[in-house]
Amino acid sequence: MRVGVVLGTGHGEKGTTGTVVDDLLQRVRQHTEIDVDVVCTDDLTLGPSCPACLACMTAGEQACPNVDNASPARELMDAADLVVFATPVHSFTLSATMKRFVDHFAYLIHRPRYFGTPAVLVSTAAGAGHDAALGYLETAIRRWGFHTVGQLGVNGPGLAKPPYRARVDLALDEIASTAVQAVRDGGEPTPTASDLIGFRVARLLVESSRDDGPVDAAYWDERGWFDADWFTDAKVPRVANALAGLVEGRIRKGIANGSSKPYRG
């Protein structure tokens, strides 16, 4: 089994985040032989931030000014049977370098490709913020096609305390077993209402930008997604799909009438 690790920390594999990931990989090895590829987002040289030029959307990912620097991460995700995304928590969310990584693959929201590939999410912190960091990552990579099969937020200083360490070890055991089984089972899980709404919103974006972003439209045309209810042949729940259709209808009406409202919290 091939495992890819995207490590969003400047401390590399020897820091707290890298050590927790290594503990997870050791447990995965108890179930099956694995080859591991690791990319540290700090080493990708993606610049201070994504330039937001939208070239990846309108002309294709090869038009990104950082495409060569981002390619090790793309190759890792393409080759993996399982991907571990790991980040320290910085100021109650994921690290800046992990956010930069996510931003440089924004085109995958329009042209997802990793359906059927399970992912595990890991965060480490001295305090709070696991919910925000892992919640954001789960949402982002789901839009790329991955489905999360396990996530774990770890308090770094707490690892020195045996009772807490024991709970972390138990969680790592469970996640490793679940992840290996997910790879063996294969396939794509049943989409949720949130998934189906995301699909319809993505379709709406691609439809409305067909002239400005023909690359996206061609990608959807090739896969028949404009006439589908979901990206794969996974069973689509009827009620959830109906709800997604209602949401899409309201969005379309708001756009057409100019009556959509700004977010006020």
For 159-181, the pLDDT digits (tens) are: 999 999 999 999 999 999 999 99
State the distance between the two ends of the chain, measured CA to CA, in whole angstroms: 44
Maximum distance among all alpha carbons in the chain?
A: 60
Say yes or no to pLDDT of 12 above 90. Answer: no
pLDDT band, very low/low/confident/very high, at 47 (cuts 50, 70, 90): confident
**Domains, the chain, ranges and CATH?**
2-185 (3.40.50.360), 193-257 (no CATH)
d(C-alpha 70, C-alpha 117), whole Å: 20
d(C-alpha 74, C-alpha 102), whole Å: 11
Say yes or no to pLDDT of 219 above 90. Answer: yes
Asked whether 101 and 64 are in contact (CB, 8 A), the reply is no
Say yes or no to pLDDT of 15 above 90. Answer: yes
For 107-136, the pLDDT digits (tens) are: 999 999 999 999 999 999 999 999 999 999
The encoded tokens of residue 221 equal 């045309």
Sole residue written with tokens 């995958």 = 108
d(C-alpha 55, C-alpha 102), whole Å: 16
pTM value surpassing 0.75: yes
Q: Residue-wise over 127-161: b if at least 16 C-beta within 10 A, else e?
A: eebbeebbebbbebbbbbbbbbbbbbbbbbeebee
Q: For the CA atoms of 185, 191, 194, 198, what is the dihedral angle to 10 degrees?
A: 100
Say yes or no to pLDDT of 95 above 80. Answer: yes
- pLDDT given for residue 199 in this prediction: 97
pLDDT band, very low/low/confident/very high, at 211 (cuts 50, 70, 90): confident
| Mean pLDDT (whole number) for 49-72 | 93
Share of the chain above pLDDT 90, in %: 86
d(C-alpha 98, C-alpha 96), whole Å: 5
Say yes or no to pLDDT of 156 above 80. Answer: yes
- The length of the chain is 265
| Mean pLDDT (whole number) for 189-218 | 92
Asked whether 223 and 202 are in contact (CB, 8 A), the reply is no
d(C-alpha 119, C-alpha 103), whole Å: 18
- pLDDT given for residue 115 in this prediction: 97
Asked whether 146 and 116 are in contact (CB, 8 A), the reply is no
Rg of the chain over Cα atoms, rounded to whole angstroms, equals 19
Say yes or no to pLDDT of 260 above 80. Answer: no
Q: What is the DSSP string of 121-140?
A: EEEEESSS-HHHHHHHHHHH
What is the separation of C-alpha 190 from the centre of its chain, rounded to a whole number of angstroms?
A: 17
User: Residue 91 has what DSSP assignment?
Assistant: T
The encoded tokens of residue 176 equal 């490793």
Say yes or no to pLDDT of 23 above 80. Answer: yes
Share of the chain above pLDDT 70, in %: 100
